[in-house]
Structure 1
Amino acid sequence: MFQEPDYRENLSLMLSEVLHDIGVNERMVMRRRRHCMLRETMRIIRCRLTDNNVTTYYLGSQSEGTTTKGLDSDLDSLLLNHDCNIIQDWSEWECGKENYLMIQDENTTPGYCFLQLLLSDEPIPATVIPDEHHINDRSGRILLKNTSFNDLIQGAVNHGPSNATQGQHGFCDSDHVLAYPCKSWPQSASGWLERQGIGRWPTQDMKSYAAYTECFVVPTGSKVSEYPELEWRISTSLAERCLILNLNITQIRCYVLLKMILKSLLNPQDEINVSSFMCKTVLLHCIEHTEQSIWKNNNLLTCLTYCLLELHTCVQNDCCSHFIIEENNLMAGQFTSEKKLELSKTITELIQSDGNGLLRINIDDLGQRLQVKLNMVLHGDYNFPTLLEIHQHIMTGGYINIAAGTSHCHKLVLNYFNNKSIMTMKQSVSKLMIFRNNGKRLQQAAFKLLAPFIFTTYGSVLASSSIGENNQVSPEACVWLSAGLNSDISSSRLKLASVFYSTGDMERAELILRHTEQQYYSYPVLPFCNCCRAARPAVSAEFMRVCSEQSENCIKHITAFCVRFIQKEINCVPRELQYEMFRSTQDDMIHRHQLDYWMDWAVVDSLPFLYFLQYKIYRHQQRHQDQQQALSKFIRTIEIDENLSTHRETALNILGQCMEQENKPQQALKCYLLSFQLRARNNAAKFHICKLLSRVLAGQ
């Protein structure tokens, strides 16, 4: 295939160029990481505000930036429950907490442990089994079963320690791993802190940082365990993430190639023979045992071959030692003899092909792109996505995911606020301000995205309270409503307009609406909602261009979030929209998902709400022509906007009431029936239909 003496160096450089062209370059890796870390930081902030004792970490390919469009990697999230205290030494026991002693003995697989229940009021073992999640072992110890986490995430499928959730169309799937934190760094990992490789990697600074990260136990037993339901795997994922974040671009490219080889050649048809975590571990061992100077772009093929040789040795010996906890064999009980022979043969052929085997990889057109680089085929035979197009795809996807994360965190905060006093809400807002004043850079960036939505809700709740008392908006409410105006292009502004409308201040409300409409059509705005599972919104070429050229703060100018009112804001909600807060009958409640708590709120997409408010204001001001123009825009938005997938039925319900006010009962009924077709359960349309028919029959 290659005749030049230095073909390995030439091939390495061309392979590096191909990987650069498909988005595996320093800029895109850093962008992917930042997008994921921003979402993680927002979730951590949300937990602090809502007194939630669970910390979410995003791990794996998405947070590491070690993925491509073709690899289609899952989003791996670890949900760390701090309610339990996992200790290795009696001095770590805490009064009033649920304490478990980590046990590693002759009955546990290396890298795994049992969790023995201790009393919460004194540091001694418990003697009474509290529930079905615990069991007595032969030594009389009360141990926690790893099945205690099963079915905690509704709609998820158990895959070992994780719960897999299928993503909406256009979004990646999610793997949720539920875990308990350990009080201290695991003793079984202490040897790694002293280990020194040839390349003096990881550095002492990396190891020192890793030793201060949290480690945890995840609910899964070893495949070769005698007690699979009692074992918990000891995990150092945060330390491993630290190591991956410190790899150079050649090492990252080598890892991406290994994952492409897995998906294309070693794990065909979605089989799981060798995992990407095994490949990551092999890579880390190879980096540790080589000089750092070899990990360069012109040596990529040699580095990849070295990793494949190491992987082949692991498969042959049925042994792949965990990078940090060496005695944990990741391949124990993994392969049958037939599968081992098959994998060994495939890896050997790939090594012996001297790069030729990479031409068989179709993921991200890698093989075809490489053939073009090598002048084996003409470039005109293929129409590959350009680097700019891939860059736009990565940036747009990242910003949409950040928007989804912002919306999700806002929804969870609203659910917390819905049942809390104004004083408790004020305390949460005070906690939020800490991240603005004392937070690190990433926390401050996350604050800028999330805080305006929370400020607006808090201001609206205060306004609702003062409107209920004296039909006035208190000065404090105005301060917070103003602080939240730049949440996005429209939703917070529409809330403020709704507040003024509710107090009868039509002039100020109309001014805000007019300005909001002008802004909406000055940018390539994307209507966005994350209230329930829906397909990823369709985006325009102009939207993608803006995403590729600007920082994540541009989200504020190119997204229009849905407008959410919790019941504490009811005095700021137009009467026509208040019905949405009471959409569910007792029978409807049975058919609701556990995450459908937003159905007890009034939620509407921005643009329909804007035109509805304009219609109501112009009707009040007796500006008939403007009123009819607003109504026409309202109707056209519902008919043509393909991104109103979540709340289209609400828009139709409001439009139906406008039609009733226009004395057009037939058109109103048509709106309600269309709404009912979209959502047969938990829909206020059934009330409107009954009311309308009652009035028609009464001759009103």
Structure 2
Amino acid sequence: MFQEHDFRENLSLALSEVLDDIGVNERLVMRRRRHLMLGETICNIRYSFTDTNTTVYYLGSQSEGTTTTGLHSDIDTLYCYPDSNIIQDWSEWEHGKLNYLMIQDENTTPGYCFLQLLRHDEPLPATVIPDEHHISDRSGRILVKNTRFNGVIPGAVVHGPSNAEQGEPGFSDIDTVLAFPCKSWPHSASGWLERQGIGRWPTHDMRRYAVSTRCFVVATGSKVSQYPELEWRISTSLAERCLILNLNITQIRCYVLLKMILKSFLNPQGEINISSFMCKTVLLHCIENTESSIWKENNLFICLTYCLLELHSCVQNDHCSHFIIQENNLMAGQFTAEKKHELSKNISDFLQNDSKMLLRIDIDDLGYRLQVKLNIVPHRAYYYQSSLAIHESNMTSEYLKTACITSLIHNPVLEHLHTKNIRAMKYCIGKLITFNVNGNRLEQAAFKFIAPFIFTTYGSILASSSISENNLVSPQALVWLSVGLNSDISSSRLKLASVFYCTGDMEKAELILRHTEQQYYSYPVVPICRCWMKPRPAVTAEFKRVCGEQSEDCIKHITSFCVRFIQKEINCIPHELQYEMFRSTQGDMIHRDEDEDCWMDWAVVDSLPFLYFLQYKIYRHLQSHQDQQQALNKLIRTIETDTNLSHRETALNILGQCMEQENRPQQAFNCYLLSLQLRSRNNVANFHICKHLSGLLASQ
């Protein structure tokens, strides 16, 4: 008996050490959470800034920090549309809003509801069917169908309430759920607030916070529903996120192990028999019904066994109660009799051979690492990543996500500014600044990532206006350009240099470019651009080291964003780049996405090619031939060798114009042809070729 206890304790400690090594430790879990929450906040500031009545929440494993590299977890996002008012009592009805009354009766599955349309002018049921998304039931109630959101995300695969999109190479897949917010905490979840388990968990503070969070209705019906197209599931996902964020590290490791077992033995070949949400629910029930003192590192194996026994019981009984809305059976209609028998047997087999089965888990080399910890095999027999390398890789991934989210939201913000006059822009910027003055810590951190790009653009717009009037840069424009300089290592500085170039102040422009180039090569810089979906940029070992050692502030010193000029900045860019604002013919427009391709009406160029192009132009003006040729050679070399360029076709277009100025017509023509090979439509290279050929014919 004592030997068995010692074995379990040793196995528990070895498991804990292995999970620590692969990144399931307090430091990395907290940093994962921080960056997903930061990304969430960046997105929501964007929606607030652009007056879009949408809120996004990052949910699931990534935001909880309950994942590893080998689990390949999706990013789960929930988009909340507050224009609809989902109410439980008539007192919650609001004038002028799209009001729906939650209905839970004998025809709805527990945990689900119907949504009855109400009038917007007075608190009465609607009597007219407004569109194809609504239907009248036998009682004459106008109900909205849960197919309401179908097709909202083009190209996504619909799985229940989620729209699944495959991520680009190096990026996680994205599951998006579209939801309406409930006005108040659901009546069906009120019993949970009074429930108290053996472990006195969740605490009173957690429950109080849960009630203060939003609840949602999401567009999916129960598998056992009589009316699957009319039911909407009640979601308490924010309350559940709160609970997971309050788990200790042993409980998190137990959850990660459950997901590894699920993926390795219970859901082979990507099947979804038992969901990770069911495992999470089982874990929460087990924590609630055990003493908190049980959940320690030296008991990890026992805790895991307890959770698997509970999961086995759920499968055998076809019943897994939702943790908050207990009447909702997560396994209702989930399995056939054959699948239930198979799953029950697989879990039973695992429990009978649990320690041996753990050694067979390939995810993150967990099984082999465990064998090494238990001295079953020597360490030298197999290579796996060190804990330091895993930490650096994970932090690199998190930092790149933050940078890419910042780049991604930049375009809609610029598109919004493009539609505003100066007075409206000032109002928008003032609204943005309130996040830094009155916001919480996450909002203040997000502000530091977003604001410099917007300040620089606003300064450039002011400069463009003053340049058109008197060829000078107004002091106000210079102030805004200056406060935005630290957006990243290069892009805002290049905008300022371009402004000075356009006013003829070549000395200042050259000084900024020289300093920017020195800074660029003082750090392991990676170009960042999300104008279009492309593979994650390649990074060096030095870049990973910096990410592993430094805080998130280092992102500004190791990333180089593409430089974006909207049409209101046209006087701040060389004429060679202005052509890019007119890249699309009428025939090209049908090959553009209205939302994603707004950047095609701007001049957008990668930082490094733009830096060398500006140097070429400035040294040409200063009649410094040697420096001019060096800049040209650097531009050529960058286009040929930098695999991370996102706007290579634009770089080739400006290089072609440089070749024309060098009186090298064949090389210019080749540049335009190469540009067209990269992007055949929406490419101003078509115009350059016509202009170039026309010039050649005229000269003959």
The amino acid of 2:393's aligned partner reads H
User: Residues 87-142 of structure 1: CA distance to partner in whole angstroms, max 9, x if unpaired?
Assistant: 11111111111111111111111101111111111111111111111111111111
C-alpha distance in 2 between matches for 1:5 and 1:316 = 29
Superposed displacement of residue 457, structure 1: 1.0
* Match in the other structure for 2:665: 665
* Match in the other structure for 1:182: 182
C-alpha distance in 2 between matches for 1:629 and 1:152 = 50
Superposed displacement of residue 3, structure 1: 6.2
C-alpha distance in 1 between matches for 2:189 and 2:677 = 58
C-alpha distance in 1 between matches for 2:174 and 2:601 = 27
Superposed displacement of residue 449, structure 1: 1.2
The amino acid of 1:108's aligned partner reads T
Provide the secondary structure at the position in 2 that maps to 1:101: strand
Provide the secondary structure at the position in 2 that maps to 1:355: helix
Give the 5 Å matches for 1:296-445.
Answer: 296-445=296-445
C-alpha distance in 2 between matches for 1:383 and 1:277 = 33
Give the 5 Å matches for 1:608-687.
Answer: 608-644=609-645, 646-687=646-687
Contact 2:673–2:685 (Cα < 8 Å) also in 1:
yes
Contact 2:42–2:405 (Cα < 8 Å) also in 1:
yes
Superposed displacement of residue 440, structure 1: 1.0
C-alpha distance in 1 between matches for 2:590 and 2:252 = 48
Give the 5 Å matches for 1:33-432.
Answer: 33-432=33-432
Choose 428-437 or 460-469, whichever is displaced more.
Answer: 460-469
Superposed displacement of residue 318, structure 1: 0.7
* Match in the other structure for 1:604: 605
C-alpha distance in 2 between matches for 1:78 and 1:568 = 34
Superposed displacement of residue 360, structure 1: 1.5
C-alpha distance in 2 between matches for 1:476 and 1:577 = 25
Contact 1:8–1:299 (Cα < 8 Å) also in 2:
yes
Answering whether residue 574 of structure 2 is matched by residue 547 of structure 1, we say: no
User: Residues 566-617 of structure 1: CA distance to partner in whole angstroms, max 9, x if unpaired?
Assistant: 1111111211111111111121111123411111111000000000011111
Superposed displacement of residue 155, structure 1: 2.3
C-alpha distance in 2 between matches for 1:212 and 1:526 = 41
Superposed displacement of residue 354, structure 1: 3.8
* Match in the other structure for 1:454: 454
Choose 666-675 or 344-353, whichever is displaced more.
Answer: 344-353
Provide the secondary structure at the position in 2 that maps to 1:86: strand
C-alpha distance in 2 between matches for 1:502 and 1:148 = 51
Provide the secondary structure at the position in 2 that maps to 1:70: helix
C-alpha distance in 1 between matches for 2:415 and 2:222 = 39
Provide the secondary structure at the position in 1 that maps to 2:71: coil
Contact 1:449–1:553 (Cα < 8 Å) also in 2:
no
The amino acid of 1:151's aligned partner reads G
List structure 1 segments (4+ residues) > 2 angstroms apart after TM superposition: 2-5
User: Residues 369-391 of structure 1: CA distance to partner in whole angstroms, max 9, x if unpaired?
Assistant: 11111111111111110000000
* Match in the other structure for 2:16: 16
* Match in the other structure for 2:592: 592
C-alpha distance in 1 between matches for 2:432 and 2:168 = 30
C-alpha distance in 1 between matches for 2:548 and 2:284 = 33
Report the identity percentage.
76
Provide the secondary structure at the position in 2 that maps to 1:116: strand
Answering whether residue 526 of structure 2 is matched by residue 538 of structure 1, we say: no
User: Residues 536-555 of structure 1: CA distance to partner in whole angstroms, max 9, x if unpaired?
Assistant: 10000111111111001101
* Match in the other structure for 2:559: 559
Contact 1:576–1:657 (Cα < 8 Å) also in 2:
yes
C-alpha distance in 1 between matches for 2:103 and 2:568 = 49
Superposed displacement of residue 472, structure 1: 1.8
Contact 2:411–2:598 (Cα < 8 Å) also in 1:
no
C-alpha distance in 2 between matches for 1:34 and 1:89 = 37
Contact 1:75–1:174 (Cα < 8 Å) also in 2:
yes
The amino acid of 1:606's aligned partner reads S
The amino acid of 2:159's aligned partner reads H
The amino acid of 1:684's aligned partner reads V
C-alpha distance in 2 between matches for 1:626 and 1:77 = 50
Superposed displacement of residue 174, structure 1: 0.4
Answering whether residue 474 of structure 2 is matched by residue 471 of structure 1, we say: no
Query: TM-score when scaled to structure 2?
Result: 0.99
C-alpha distance in 1 between matches for 2:612 and 2:108 = 65
Distance 1:69 1:459, change over 3 A: same
Superposed displacement of residue 327, structure 1: 0.7
Superposed displacement of residue 154, structure 1: 2.0
The amino acid of 1:144's aligned partner reads V
Contact 1:85–1:100 (Cα < 8 Å) also in 2:
yes
C-alpha distance in 2 between matches for 1:240 and 1:392 = 29
Count of matched residue positions in the alignment of Structure 1 and Structure 2:
698
C-alpha distance in 1 between matches for 2:408 and 2:587 = 27
Superposed displacement of residue 642, structure 1: 0.6
Choose 278-287 or 423-432, whichever is displaced more.
Answer: 423-432
User: Residues 289-320 of structure 1: CA distance to partner in whole angstroms, max 9, x if unpaired?
Assistant: 00000000100011001100110111111111
The amino acid of 2:417's aligned partner reads F
Superposed displacement of residue 4, structure 1: 5.4
Superposed displacement of residue 397, structure 1: 0.5
Superposed displacement of residue 685, structure 1: 0.5
- What runs of 5+ residues in structure 2 fail to find an aligned partner? none
Provide the secondary structure at the position in 2 that maps to 1:450: helix
Contact 1:501–1:617 (Cα < 8 Å) also in 2:
yes
User: Residues 147-192 of structure 1: CA distance to partner in whole angstroms, max 9, x if unpaired?
Assistant: 1101111221111111111111001100011001011111110110
Provide the secondary structure at the position in 2 that maps to 1:527: strand
Answering whether residue 488 of structure 2 is matched by residue 523 of structure 1, we say: no
C-alpha distance in 2 between matches for 1:609 and 1:545 = 28
Superposed displacement of residue 5, structure 1: 4.7
